[in-house]
Amino acid sequence: MSDCIFCKIVAGELPCSKVYEDDEILAFHDIRPVAPVHFMLIPKAHIASLADCDERHQALLGRILLLAPRLAREQGLTNGFRTMINTGRGGGQEVFHLHVHVFGGGPLRPM
């Protein structure tokens, strides 16, 4: 997707503060953090949102979710963290490349 910010980050055309990378997944710090630690995990392949996933994405989604606690720990979130996936305009999604927010390290608003 040539006009997708996160695809440009994956391609190295835009910089990011990298937390983790493998052949399928990239994690990097959010440019506008809402907590002392705030990063996102994204699939390297362009998937617009969680609502665009199907059975073919099952393993990838599982890998992303299982990575979240490991990376959170490595980023110092030893006391817990919040995960968030905004989906669609109604869900507050701004960047239409699937991403899982992970944040914490300070007071969080109760849900």
- For the chain, the residue count is 111
Quote the CA–CA distance of 31 and 8 in Å, as a whole number: 15
Distance separating alpha carbons of residues 90 and 46, to the nearest angstrom? 20
- Among positions 35-64, residues that touch Zn ion (CB under 5 A) are 46
Judged by CB under 6 A, does residue 32 bind ligand 5GP?
Answer: yes
Is residue 57 involved in binding ligand 5GP (CB under 6 A)? no
Rule CB under 6 A: choose which of 31, 51, 59, 65 binds ligand 5GP.
Answer: 31
Q: Which is nearer to Zn ion, 52 or 74 (CB)?
A: 52
Q: Which run of H or E residues covers position 43?
A: strand 37-43
Residues in touch with Zn ion (CB under 5 A): 1, 4, 6-7, 46, 97
